[in-house]
């Protein structure tokens, strides 16, 4: 199977199964300034060992429609699914 044919097959499967890979690939929206500021504040709280405050900030970020995934290289923000 050629590369273009494989790509078309993947897009068809994506659509048929409702996986929304195409939509996810197209969505590379940067978090709003306020959310990025909250994320920086949360990192300061975590580094200081104030995990209760960090959890409260996580809830605020979540209320803006963003999800935090903590990784070895730092936190990563992604938009929540509608």
Range of the domain at 50: 31-82
Rounded to whole angstroms, the Cα distance separating 29 from 27 reads 6
Total of domains in the chain:
2
Which CA distances in Å does 31 have to 42, 45, 58, 71?
15, 20, 14, 17
Question: How does pLDDT run across 47-82, given as a tens digit for each residue?
Answer: 999 999 999 999 999 999 999 999 999 999 998 876
The tokens describing 62, both together, are 């979540």
Same domain membership, residue 9 and residue 45: no
* Domain co-membership, 36 together with 12: no
pTM of the entire structure? 0.64
Q: How confident is the model over 10-29, as pLDDT tens digits? A: 888 888 888 777 666 655 57
Task: Note whether 53 and 77 are same-domain residues.
Answer: yes
- Cβ atoms of 61 and 46 closer than 8 Å: no
Looking at the predicted structure, is the pLDDT value of residue 37 above 90?
yes
d(CA 36, CA 50): 19
Residues 77 and 53 in one domain: yes
């Amino acid at each position: 199977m050629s590369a273009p044919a494989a790509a078309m097959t993947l897009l068809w499967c994506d659509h048929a199964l409702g996986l929304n890979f195409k939509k996810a690939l197209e969505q590379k929206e940067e978090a709003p300034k306020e959310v990025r500021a909250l994320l920086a504040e949360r990192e300061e709280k975590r580094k200081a060992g104030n995990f209760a405050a960090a959890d409260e900030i996580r809830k605020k970020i979540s209320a803006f429609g963003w999800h935090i995934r903590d990784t070895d290289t730092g936190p990563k923000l992604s938009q929540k699914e509608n």
